[in-house]
Amino acid sequence: MELLEYFHSQHYSSEKYIPRKLQLPEKGHINLFGVRGAGKSSMILAHLEEIDEEERLYIDLEDPNLIFGILNAVTLQHYIDHNEITLLVLDHYEEGRLEELPSVDRLIVISRIPLGNQELIPVELFPLDYEEFLAFESSISATNAFNHFLKCGTLPALARSYRSTLLPMKQFWQSHFTPNEQQLLLILAQHHTRHLSVHQIYTFAKERFRVSKDWLYRTINSFTEEKLIFFINDRYQKGGKKMILFDFAFAKYLTTGQPFITQFDTMIALALVKHGIVFETLGIHGYMTKEGELIIPAPFESEESLWAKSQTKFSLYKQYGVRKITIVTVANAYEYDIEKLHFEALPFYEWTVLFEEEE
């Protein structure tokens, strides 16, 4: 009971919180889930500021006082009833942490992966998309804003880093991952955007550090479920899937010599993921949506250069049923047609905003 009084007496706040696009349901119990670093805790702490302190109880299950302290469902339920708690938040929750979830007017459970509890409304929070990032950005220039996005990535905690991102990135890496996970992430970063099987990852990993096959397969499965990594099917190239990490700036931090095109390619893939677009890769030719749109990352490609390349690839486009081609660039904009196939080039910041208009 003393432990619960400790949590109840804390004055939590989310300093300088910038609202996200995601709106929490006004009623019902919620399971807010998402990849580590996405900003879940900050969102809920901002929400708590609207609730009377006496009626709310926020429990961070990663609080060091819980390492040896015991938290069980019976004691928690008694405390809720006795103190007339109307809102309970369980942060950093893992499946099975409590024997059963307490009964309370409003329950918010924060986790990395969806819990699958039928009584909880699943709500997923992704890291920042480009439009959300602009809310953190003080720069007026579209070019400066894009460069800052490229440098900081999509994690809210880093979006405020107007100078060097090295220290915040290091803190995130060290505080959110175990030593073994850190070593695995280094391997994944080295092969970021390449076609891989889990067996190949295991082969690369055991060359670098001592690792069991069971642990690696289990961890890769966990990373995939959390959406720390994505394996993208390839319609063109057989054997392995294209693997990308959840944040392009984080991937660059973990390895040296990563070219700009790799970051740009990942930015486009992650934008598609965050907006719920179903897609596959078409080899090295781009990303293919289920509607038949081929999206080509071509940051600096001129109209003349791409037109010439399109002529040589036109039979491939017809073979795979491409209906429309969108070329995503850094700043160039142009359009043309080859037979009945329409090609349109848009700067990244214009292309990504189109998703908002469609939604």
Q: Which of 74, 103, 124 is the last residue of a domain?
A: 124
Which residues contact residue 230 at a Cβ distance below 8 angstroms, ignoring those fewer than 6 apart? Answer: 224, 243, 244, 246, 269, 273
Q: Which residues pair with residue 338 across a beta bridge?
A: 341
Residue 221 falls inside a structural domain: no
Distance from C-alpha of 129 to C-alpha of 192, rounded to nearest angstrom: 20
Q: Which of 124, 142, 160 is the last residue of a domain?
A: 124
Interhelix angle 179-190/166-176, rounded to 10 degrees, is: 120
CATH code of 102's domain: 3.40.50
Residue 270 falls inside a structural domain: yes
Residue 241 falls inside a structural domain: no
Classify burial at 291, counting beta carbons within 10 Å of its beta carbon; exposed 0-12, middle 13-18, buried 19 or more.
exposed
- Hey, what are 247's tokens? 């944040």
Residue 151 falls inside a structural domain: no
Residue 46 falls inside a structural domain: yes
Alpha helices in 91-178, H assignment, sequence order: 130-136, 142-152, 156-159, 166-176
- Hey, what are 63's tokens? 């609080």
Domain span at 25: 2-124
Give me the number of domains the chain comprises: 2
- By DSSP bridging, strand 279-281 and strand 287-289 are antiparallel
Which residues contact residue 53 at a Cβ distance below 8 angstroms, ignoring those fewer than 6 apart? Answer: 11
The one-character DSSP state at 63 is -
Residue 254 falls inside a structural domain: no
If one counts every other C-beta atom within 10 angstroms of the C-beta of residue 261, the result is 13
Q: Which helix (H) or strand (E) holds 187?
A: helix 179-190
Residue 138 falls inside a structural domain: no
- Hey, what are 2's tokens? 């003393």
Q: What's the angle, vertex CA 34, arms to CA 124 and CA 55, rounded to 5? A: 75
pTM for this structure? 0.91
Say if residues 201 and 220 touch (Cβ distance below 8 Å). Answer: yes
What is the residue-level pLDDT of the chain in tens, covering all 359 positions? Answer: 788 999 999 887 777 788 899 999 999 999 999 999 999 999 999 999 888 889 999 999 999 999 888 899 999 999 999 999 999 999 999 998 998 999 999 999 999 999 989 999 999 999 999 989 988 776 666 778 888 898 889 999 888 766 667 888 999 999 999 999 999 999 999 999 999 999 999 999 999 999 999 999 999 999 999 999 999 999 988 777 999 999 999 999 999 878 999 999 999 999 999 999 999 999 999 999 999 999 999 999 999 999 999 999 999 999 999 999 999 999 999 999 999 899 999 999 899 887 665 55
Residue 329 falls inside a structural domain: yes
Sign, Cα dihedral of 334, 338, 339, 340: negative
Q: Which of 124, 158, 174 is the last residue of a domain?
A: 124
Sign, Cα dihedral of 112, 117, 120, 121: positive
Q: No. of H helices and E strands in the chain?
A: 14, 14
DSSP string for 148-159: HHHHH-S-HHHH
